[in-house]
Structures are given as C-alpha cells and as structure tokens.
Amino acid sequence: MNSITIYHNPACGTSRNTLELIRNSGIEPTIIHYLETPPDRATLVKIIDDMGTGVRGLLRPNTDPYVELKLDDAKWTNDRLIDFMLQYPILINRPVVITKLGTRLCRPSEVVLDILPDPQKGAFTKEDGEQIVDANGQRIIK
C-alpha cells in the first residue's frame, strides 16, 4: 500500500486537479485540509526541508497577509516567515504532496506525476480542459 499525503485546499483548482491525478493512479491519499488543520511547526519545517526550496519557496505571495505584512521584504528571517505561515495558513502555498518518492509543491498540478509511485490508470484532463495524460496513462509532453 502506497502512502501519499496531500495538503489540500478544495477551493483551489490546481489542488483539485492534483488530487484527481493522485486518484487517477489508483491511490486514495490522506487529505489534509491545511487551512482548517495546518501543520505544526516541526511538520512545516520538515516539508520545507524535504522540498529543498527554502521557506520562501513555500510562501504564497498573492494573499492579503503577504501584502499587508510586506513579506517580500528581505528583513524577514526564515523563522519569522514560518511563524507567519503558522499564524496565517493561507500563506502556505498549495497543494503540497508527500510520497515515498519526494515532497513537492505541485504547481502546476502535473508536477505530482514526477513523484507518484504508480502510473496513471487512464486519460486525465484538467478542469480548464487541458489534457495532460492520454488514454494509455502516458503524460502528454507539450
């Protein structure tokens, strides 16, 4: 049994597409609605470390708290940015997927294909109409 976790926001199309790509590989992941149940500090730090992108790589800039707090200012330390993400989970970019093959911010949603342990079971078309997996379960490269 493969274990996959997605930090998910059902209001986000990219997050919904990513979840459906996981399901298209035959796996029902553990779904964490991170706005309702955000990760604790240790988990958030581990996610950031496992992604290898640094704290700012997981920070979502197009949110009200980001703008209001002026988080683009270089004065903010990584620890302080993490504090803000814990205080305002909307600052955590999504969806984040964790599998045995890695941890990724799946933007665009097809990034998840790089870390899914099982192949796609059939065709997949994103909500916007873009087909990214063909009927044979193969990724369509554009």
Pairing of strands 102-105, 124-125: unpaired
Catalytic residues: 12
- Within 8 A by CB and 6+ apart from 91, the residues are 59, 60, 63, 65, 66, 71, 84, 85
Q: Which two tokens stand for residue 2?
A: 């493969």
70: left (phi over 0), alpha (psi -120 to 50) or beta: left
